[in-house]
Amino acid sequence: MKEININGHHETIVERSDYPIEKCKNILKNDVTAILGYGPQGRGQGLNMRDQGFNVILGLRRGKSWENALADGWVEGENLFELEEATQRGKIIQFLVSDAAQIQLWPMVKANLNDGDAIYFSHGFGVVFHEDTQIVPPENVDVILVAPKGSGLTVRNHFLDGRGINASFAIHQDYTGNAKDRCIATAFAFGSGHLFETTFEKEVHSDLTGERCVLMGLLQGAFLAQYEVLREHGHSPSEAYNETIEEALQSLYPLVAENGMDWMYANCSTTAQRGALDWAPKFKDSLKPVIEECYQSVLSGEEARISIETNSKPDYREQLEKELAAVNNQEMWQAGKQLRPLRPENL
């Protein structure tokens, strides 16, 4: 384990070497892991655990997800079952369906939890906002969380590349006295890189804020704002797209990921450095109040209520497709469709 201290804040980072795969298999040797759901996280975590030789099964409804699982080599009656049967067979229940589906399925899952089982989440939403979701685990089970800091597709692709993705973990309820080991062993079973500890509350508050701000919402808004300004001042679509998105994602952001923002600045022209250093505080001062407003909306439960209400509407999927189509049809992303194939690696 690695001890880090940042401005007086002490943390312990759990590394792969602390929990080698054989140790994880020993911890989980008496536990069948039943993954409910085959969305990005269910698929990524499930395939990685299966590939590493863990005793993992899937619980799905028959339909598209079921067919996708069969195509990935899961075998009906062997490691692929319908939802309730998988829940009954599992000792660690990985509840990886959508937040809305968790609300619908919780009565069935709760009814099939046995003494000493573990209910596992990759997002604290259902448990933290229990007044709206009604998800309150019984007292005789472990309640644990591992939240990869990336999409399920990234979880899978990093694993296939021999890398791991960082994740947070949390113990909400330790009934067996073995909850922490079960939690950490499962995290490395699906290929996590390193782990840092959090709580269900902090995970969901940071996650919802991040999704709405720098990870997704703010990113789309900032891209579109700059693209529109450039276009309104006579720049061509290809110029506006390249200066806004292509250079960011292909050239500069990878440098930030590699060694930090100062490293990216150091590897740019002095003119770019000067402009970035001068304008960064202005953007911070403008954006911090908006992010604070977003955080308070998350903290109050308002964002959860909006999500639950919207996702529960019968025409949710139809309306979502319309919203996503509107983004897809923006000139900025239409330009991207034509320009991305021109990257050297695609020629």
Catalytic residue positions? 123
For the chain, what's the residue count?
347
Alpha carbon distance 288, 252 (integer Å)? 23
Which tokens in the block code for residue 141? 């089970």
Cα–Cα distance measured from residue 36 to residue 62, given in angstroms and rounded to the nearest whole number = 12
From start to end of 235-286, where are the E strands? none
Distance CA 324, CA 312 (A): 18
Asked if residue 162 lies in contact with residue 51, where contact means CB atoms within 8 angstroms, the answer is no
The CB density around residue 188, as the number of other CB atoms within 10 Å, is: 25
195 backbone φψ class: left, alpha, beta (φ>0; ψ -120 to 50): beta
Please state, as a whole number, how many other Cβ atoms lie within 10 Å of the Cβ of residue 73. Answer: 10
Q: How many other C-beta atoms can be found within 10 angstroms of the C-beta atom of residue 153?
A: 12
Tokens of 42: 């269910």
Helix (H) or strand (E) holding 202, with range, is: helix 200-212
* CA–CA dist 64, 284 (Å, integer): 44
Contact 38, 47 (CB under 8 A): no
Q: Is 324 exposed, middle or buried (0-12, 13-18, 19+ CB in 10 A)?
A: exposed
Would you call 196 helix, strand, or coil by DSSP? strand
Chain position carrying tokens 């590939």: 51
Q: What single letter denotes the amino acid at residue 337?
A: K
